[in-house]
Structure 1
């Protein structure tokens, strides 16, 4: 297990920590949970940087990294929707998109094909991280940025569908 993959696994472990902190009765629980969320974001940047710089890209990492991103974003959006920080439709749209992408990724993986994350997907992830951070301090601007992130996610999804249909039809 190389360092980038270890960082990705650590990011997966931060998901239940985020949830525990978010719903805890600790003073400043929202700040602590957002801190866990941003530690996850930092590990996401680090694992990608280290994997590319030191040529430590693995098939496992190509699959686990976007899965960790998707699970973290869905978890955070679910928590925010439960506490009514965001509208439920945002969670549903992103959940359906991510579920389809995970299932399509599994199908392609069984054909020994992987569609790695691209710049549009990375931009969408950054937009979600930024909007969630801002949402904790300014609900109006944060919600506006969440809408931008949802639009970006939709565009990234269309792009993925195009790539998926090309890969799916290969012999």
Structure 2
């Protein structure tokens, strides 16, 4: 356990805090909690890379924390009627699929693709969409759909990177199977 991993774990702690604040009727304050979570994401990544503290645990936990927080936010927005159920369903399918797939292959000894700039950009785009939704801007739902499409494209890129990463591993004499 190191500082970057502790920062990642703090994002898990912020999820119930976000939910309580949101459902107590303070969506803008809840959004600020989401921003704090996003800042810990930036900080843990910077700290891990700059100090050589990247760990397999961190590689797995970082995107899990991001996706879990995003799912909690989308559930809150769905329950409150701020986003359509179809958008929430698309986000849930994508994120739950990525979580289950990543965990499944991680525990089968496959190498995981670390979060990269495309994934981080997608997260930022979601934060902007949430900002638009919370502040009830007229184009918020349209923008959210744009981000959902982008997130599915990025997911396909991750899947291709995963396949290539593990194909290279298999080509080096490893007995691992997909």
Give structure 2 stretches of 5+ with no counterpart.
Answer: 171-175
In the TM superposition, residue 109 of structure 1 has moved relative to its aligned partner by 1.0
Name the TM-score, length of structure 1 as normaliser.
0.91
Distance 1:159 1:79 in 2: 28
- 1:2 maps to 2
Deviation string, structure 1 residues 58-106 (Cα, Å, up to 9, x no partner):
1111111100000011110111011111111111111111111112111
Mapped contact 2:112–2:162 kept (Cα < 8 A): no
- 1:32 maps to 29
- 2:173 maps to none
Q: Which has the larger radius of gyration?
A: 2
Deviation string, structure 1 residues 15-71 (Cα, Å, up to 9, x no partner):
00111111115xxx1122111111101111111111111111111111111000000
Mapped contact 1:8–1:44 kept (Cα < 8 A): yes
- 1:77 maps to 74
Mapped contact 2:27–2:134 kept (Cα < 8 A): yes
Structure 1 runs (4+) deviating above 4 angstroms are: none
Q: Out of 30, 48, 53, which is 1:51 matched to?
A: 48
Mapped contact 1:11–1:43 kept (Cα < 8 A): yes
- Matched length: 168
In the TM superposition, residue 112 of structure 1 has moved relative to its aligned partner by 4.2
Give structure 1 stretches of 5+ with no counterpart.
Answer: none
Name the TM-score, length of structure 2 as normaliser.
0.87
RMSD between superposed Cα atoms in Å: 1.6
Residue 173 (structure 2) pairs with residue 158 (structure 1): no
